[in-house]
Amino acid sequence: MQVTGIEASQPDQLVLFWSEAAARRKPNRARNFILATGGLLGGGFIARYDGVIEEVVCGLPIRAPSQRGEWFNREFFGQEPHPIFTTGIEINQQFQPIGQDGMPIFNNLFIAGTALAHGDFLRERSLDGVGLATGYWIGTHL
């Protein structure tokens, strides 16, 4: 089911995710939530032509190059990762998404997999491994 929105009871606490189920919207309530939608390649982010990159479920801030012209290196097959592929959500040590102030945006939301910032998961060939490892860590620490 595709997640279509969220609701928060307080500025930093999620209450539910809305998903599409057949012909109706369905609320999904929980104490904690794990966002594992994938990054740019997995469909969790949308890159617009004007250079803005958006996280599709919660509208979380994305660490990304500010200009579309900065997405790729001059040397396409060079040794350095392309900045667009290291785009993602900044987190703290508990895998909670953080804002520019370093504080969690939602206390009960955790980010797993290739939605994380700073990884070059495609080049490393670690897409599935990062998803499994981060999901496992979050699950054992909740």
Q: What is the pLDDT of residue 23?
A: 82
Q: What is the pLDDT of residue 101?
A: 94
Q: What is the pLDDT of residue 6?
A: 93
What are the boundaries of each domain within the chain? 31-141
Confidence grade of residue 132 (pLDDT, cut at 50, 70, 90):
very high
pLDDT digits (tens, 9 = 90+) for 5-46: 899 987 899 999 999 878 889 999 999 999 999 888 788 888
pLDDT digits (tens, 9 = 90+) for 48-105: 888 788 999 999 999 888 777 777 878 878 788 877 788 899 999 999 999 999 999 9
- Helix, strand, coil tally for the chain in percent (to 5): 20, 30, 50
**CA pair distance 106, 55, nearest whole angstrom:** 15
**CA pair distance 74, 82, nearest whole angstrom:** 9
Longest dimension (CA), the chain: 48
Mean pLDDT along residues 116-142: 86
Residues 6+ apart with CB under 8 A from 112: 34, 35, 36, 95, 131, 134, 135, 138
Q: What is the pLDDT of residue 13?
A: 93
**CA pair distance 108, 60, nearest whole angstrom:** 14
Q: What is the pLDDT of residue 107?
A: 95
For 116, the token pair is 């994380």
